[in-house]
Amino acid sequence: MPVLPIVRLGHPALRTPAEPVVPARVVERAFQRLIDDMIETMRAAEGVGLAAPQVGFGLQLFVYEALEAEDPARAVPAIPAIPLRAVVNPMVEPLSGEQIFDWEGCLSIPDLRGLVPRHPSVRLRGVDRHGHLEERVVEGFEARIVQHEYDHLNCVLFLDRMSDLKSLAFVDEWQEFLHDAADDGPRSKAE
Ligand code: NI
C-alpha cells in the first residue's frame, strides 16, 4: 500500500468542497484501496486523522485512529486510544455543552499548533467502509478529531476556527514554552 503525498496549505484541494460518495462505490476495490492508502499515509505521518482532500481526492471520506500516548507528567494518558475508523459521507451534529479549547495541528499545516474551540460531543452519522450506515455519539478527543476532519470536507482548516491567533506556535516552541500551559493535557498530534 503506497503512502500518498499530503497537500499543504495553499493547495486548492484544501479549499474545494468534497463531493458525496455514491454509496454503491464504497465497497468497490478502488475505493477500498483509497481507504487503505489513507490509513497507511496517516500512520506514516504519525497523525490521528486524515481527510481525502488532504491527499488530493475531493470525496467525503476521512479516517482516524489514535494510539494511547502517555504524558510522563501526569497519571492519565495524554492521548486516549481511539480505534481505527473510516467514515464516508459524514454528518456531524453538535450536542449540548460549551465549546472546549485544546491544541490542534494539521498534517497539511506542518509544524504549527494552535488552540481551537470544539464541541465536547457530537453525533456522527455516516457510512462505514463496509457500506453500512452508522450513527454514534463521540466525545472528548475523538469528537475533536471528527470535527477537524469533517471541517476538511467543507474546506475549513483549524486556523479558520481559531478565535485568537496569539496561541499559534511552531511545534518546537510549543514544546518548550506552551506544552505545560494546556489545561486539558498536552496533545501534539496532527490531523
Ligand atoms: Ni487537518
- What is the SS3 assignment for 128-145? CCCCCEEEEEEEHHHHHH
Nearest to 191 by CA among 152, 135, 162: 152
Going from the Cα of 104 to the center of ligand 1, the distance in angstroms, rounded, reads 9
Nearest to 135 by CA among 119, 145, 146: 146
Going from the Cα of 4 to the center of ligand 1, the distance in angstroms, rounded, reads 15
Q: What share of the chain is helix, strand, coil (3-state, %, to 5)?
A: 30, 35, 35
Question: Tens digits of per-residue pLDDT, 102-122?
Answer: 999 999 999 999 999 999 999
Question: Tens digits of per-residue pLDDT, 25-46?
Answer: 999 999 999 999 999 999 999 9
| pLDDT bracket for residue 162 (50, 70, 90) | very high
Burial 143-180 (b: 16+ CB within 10 A, else e): bbbbbbbbbbbebebbeebbeeeebebeeeebeeebbe
Prediction pTM value: 0.92
Going from the Cα of 148 to the center of ligand 1, the distance in angstroms, rounded, reads 6
Going from the Cα of 24 to the center of ligand 1, the distance in angstroms, rounded, reads 27
Catalytic residue, chosen from 65, 104, 142, 149, is 149
Is 70 tagged catalytic? no
